[in-house]
């Protein structure tokens, strides 16, 4: 058992493993509903009580034992649904390490899936019965999977009662609870080794930060192979012993009002997603308001995984206050798979902190107040340091700690920080064994994200690897992308990539921006006028000239399985001339190779 201190009560309480929790729930509330999965139109498609979840997890856990040894890995490849949760807990029963993985459909993400599968070297693959044969054929190209077992999981399985002989694996807190592969936005996905102790510590941190209790019901739509979907939307409500309602990501993407409908129908307390999720709802606000939802139960609307935009917070609050949404419900926070999940967060009664800072100052590494409206940029605070945690802002090159108000790399230490990446000792040492210059203190996780601290609040400014340097000034690509996608009609949101290309002859940087157009506009958009509008908007707000602006077809820009822009891969495709470009003449063919 893991002992942790609850800062609200200063009492020490014992935090069990996920299987220990399930056994407790079976003994105290076996017939209560634990998980609900919603199908089209939010009709309840799958339901699991704690008792049914336990019986299914034991049944499939016993199947796992026939094909594995404790410590073996099992790939979990499911569309969003309750079979994933059954499989995750079945792995814990058998002492097998679950490896959540994005579902493979045709050639989509095939290279990523194969790279992850090869790295984790799983003994067994758990999936739906319908997908089993397809996955066998796809993974058979890897020698490791020639003899792998495949288990089809069905939540409607009629399984026998659990007997006294069905003894779970006696997990130690140092053992792995799962391996979470990173999104791969700046590199090949790497498997974060999350122990039972890491997981328990982060779930307790989340409980305290969100002020959760056993009644804090959840609604979630993020994919379950992603750290936000798994930990924030499934394991945290399971940790609390409260109801969790899930829906498919594609259902949300096409009909975002169903997310708010689920919150209203189940009077959920906690639900959230990346910034773009709130933008999608804003775009359909007029329709949503007519539906008359009740959002007054919503206490924590976490906003994370990509830059949090002040404009989005204001517009969403203004749009949905008539439905009971409150400004303080918004909960900007910062987290990542390498830290299990949550790193910083605020308090539930606090409205988001928004600072008006000098864009020029930020470009020079300093958070200073803006004196010129043309030089102003809004930066949203992502919360404070959480219990038992240590956060420092460090120069990524010299490893010297920076004072408040100066931008550096965000470093984190604490009980929730895993030991490293699976089967990757070089990256593990680089990322998880960092020390501050001149310090004999703890070893830190290098997040790779840039930010600064101000009065105890963390402000995140961007990824270190994505940072662009133009004429000696730092440029954050997400700022240019945000301006570009709003500069003219017909441009797709969250679908732009800014990057720089260096001329090897003179070292000069060419600043490039690739932007997708909407599907409905790909034949009619005025390319020349749109490019002109983007260039002028960026110049007006940042005094930066973008040398090359390319409009491309929908779905041309590569993204991770969780929807993050892969800027390095976009840059590669630009250089290779393989982007699908929208031609200047709308009547002409719509595809050509991009050239530098």
223 and 102 in contact (C-beta within 8 Å)? Answer: yes
496 and 565 in contact (C-beta within 8 Å)? Answer: yes
Domains and their CATH numbers in the chain: 50-171 (3.40.50.980), 348-463 (2.30.38.10), 468-576 (3.30.300.30)
- For 370-409, the pLDDT digits (tens) are 888 888 989 999 999 999 999 999 999 999 999 999 999 9
Q: Would you state the pLDDT for residue 184?
A: 66
Contacts of 323 (CB under 8 A, 6+ apart): 260, 264, 288, 289, 292, 293, 294, 295, 296
DSSP state of 495: E
User: Among positive and negative, which fits the CA dihedral 488, 493, 494, 495?
Assistant: negative
- For 203-233, the pLDDT digits (tens) are 999 999 999 999 999 999 999 999 999 999 9
Below-70 pLDDT ranges, the chain: 1-15, 106-109, 184-187, 470-473, 503-508, 561-562, 584-596
Q: Would you state the pLDDT for residue 565?
A: 86
Q: Would you state the pLDDT for residue 157?
A: 86
Contacts of 338 (CB under 8 A, 6+ apart): 182, 192, 417, 418, 431, 432, 445, 447
| Structure token pair of residue 308 | 């949090």
Q: Would you state the pLDDT for residue 305?
A: 80
Compute the distance between CA of residue 330 and CA of residue 333 in angstroms, rounded to an integer: 10
Where in 80-231 does DSSP place strands (E)? 97-100, 124-127, 149-152, 176-181, 191-195, 218-220
| Structure token pair of residue 358 | 């000098």
User: Among positive and negative, which fits the CA dihedral 211, 212, 214, 219?
Assistant: positive
Compute the distance between CA of residue 536 and CA of residue 545 in angstroms, rounded to an integer: 8
Compute the distance between CA of residue 569 and CA of residue 406 in angstroms, rounded to an integer: 30
96 and 66 in contact (C-beta within 8 Å)? Answer: no
Which run of H or of E encompasses 550?
Answer: strand 548-552
User: Among positive and negative, which fits the CA dihedral 60, 66, 68, 74?
Assistant: negative
Q: Would you state the pLDDT for residue 348?
A: 85
Q: Would you state the pLDDT for residue 562?
A: 63
User: Among positive and negative, which fits the CA dihedral 424, 425, 430, 435?
Assistant: positive
| pTM: predicted TM-score of the whole model, two decimal places | 0.84
Which residue in 221, 217, 238 sits closest to 39, CA to CA? 221
User: Among positive and negative, which fits the CA dihedral 94, 96, 97, 98?
Assistant: negative
342 and 202 in contact (C-beta within 8 Å)? Answer: yes
């Amino acid at each position: 058992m893991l002992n942790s201190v609850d800062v609200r009560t200063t009492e020490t309480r014992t935090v069990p493993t996920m299987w220990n929790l399930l056994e407790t729930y079976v003994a105290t509330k076996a017939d209560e509903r634990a998980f609900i999965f919603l199908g089209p139109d939010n009709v309840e498609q799958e339901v699991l009580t704690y008792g049914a979840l336990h019986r299914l997890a034991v049944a499939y856990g016993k199947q796992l034992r026939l094909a594995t040894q404790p410590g073996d890995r099992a790939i979990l490849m499911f569309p969003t649904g309750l079979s994933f949760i059954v499989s995750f807990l079945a792995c814990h029963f058998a002492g097998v390490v679950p490896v959540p993985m994005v579902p493979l459909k045709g050639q989509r993400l095939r290279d990523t899936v194969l790279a992850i599968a090869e790295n984790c070297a799983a003994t067994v693959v758990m999936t739906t019965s319908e997908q089993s044969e397809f996955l066998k054929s796809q993974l058979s190209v890897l020698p490791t999977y020639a003899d792998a077992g495949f288990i089809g999981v069905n939540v409607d399985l009629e399984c026998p009662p659990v007997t006294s002989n069905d003894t779970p694996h006696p997990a130690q807190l140092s053992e792995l609870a799962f391996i979470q592969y990173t999104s791969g936005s700046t590199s090949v996905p790497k498997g974060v080794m999350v122990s039972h102790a890491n997981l328990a510590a982060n779930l307790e941190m989340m409980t305290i930060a969100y002020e959760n209790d056993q009644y804090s019901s959840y609604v979630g739509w993020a994919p379950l192979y992603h750290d936000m979907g798994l930990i924030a939307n499934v394991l945290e409500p399971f940790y609390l012993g409260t109801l969790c309602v899930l829906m498919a990501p594609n259902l949300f993407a096409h009909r975002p009002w169903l997310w708010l409908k689920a919150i209203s129908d189940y009077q959920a307390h906690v639900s959230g997603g990346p910034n773009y999720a709130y933008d999608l709802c804003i775009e359909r606000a007029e329709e949503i308001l007519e539906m008359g939802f009740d959002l007054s139960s919503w206490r924590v609307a976490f906003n994370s995984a990509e830059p949090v935009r002040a404009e989005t917070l204001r517009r969403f609050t203004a749009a949905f206050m008539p439905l009971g949404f409150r400004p303080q419900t918004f909960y900007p926070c910062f987290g990542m798979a390498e830290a299990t999940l949550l790193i910083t967060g605020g308090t539930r009664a606090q409205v988001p902190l928004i600072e008006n800072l000098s864009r020029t100052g930020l470009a020079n590494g300093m958070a200073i107040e803006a004196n010129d409206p043309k030089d102003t940029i809004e930066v949203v605070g992502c919360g404070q340091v959480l219990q038992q945690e240590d956060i420092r802002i460090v120069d990524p090159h010299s490893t010297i700690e920076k004072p408040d108000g100066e931008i550096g790399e965000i470093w984190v230490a604490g009980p929730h920080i895993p030991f490293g990446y699976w089967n990757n000792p070089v990256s593990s040492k680089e990322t998880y064994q960092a020390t501050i210059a001149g310090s004999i203190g703890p070893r830190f996780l290098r997040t790779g994200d840039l930010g600064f601290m101000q009065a105890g609040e963390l402000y995140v400014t961007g990824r270190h690897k994505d940072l662009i340097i133009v004429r000696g000034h730092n440029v954050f690509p997400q700022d240019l992308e945000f301006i570009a996608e709003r500069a003219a009609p017909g441009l797709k949101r969250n679908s732009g990539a800014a990057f720089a290309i260096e001329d090897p002859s003179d070292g000069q940087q060419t600043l490039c921006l690739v932007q997708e157009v909407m599907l409905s506009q790909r034949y009619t958009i005025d390319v020349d006028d749109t490019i002109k509008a983007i260039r002028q908007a960026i110049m007006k707000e940042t005094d930066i000239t973008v040398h090359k602006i390319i409009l491309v077809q929908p779905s041309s820009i590569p993204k991770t399985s969780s929807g993050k822009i892969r800027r390095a891969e976009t840059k590669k495709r630009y250089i290779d001339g393989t982007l699908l470009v929208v031609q200047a003449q709308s009547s002409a063919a719509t595809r050509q190779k991009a050239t530098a």
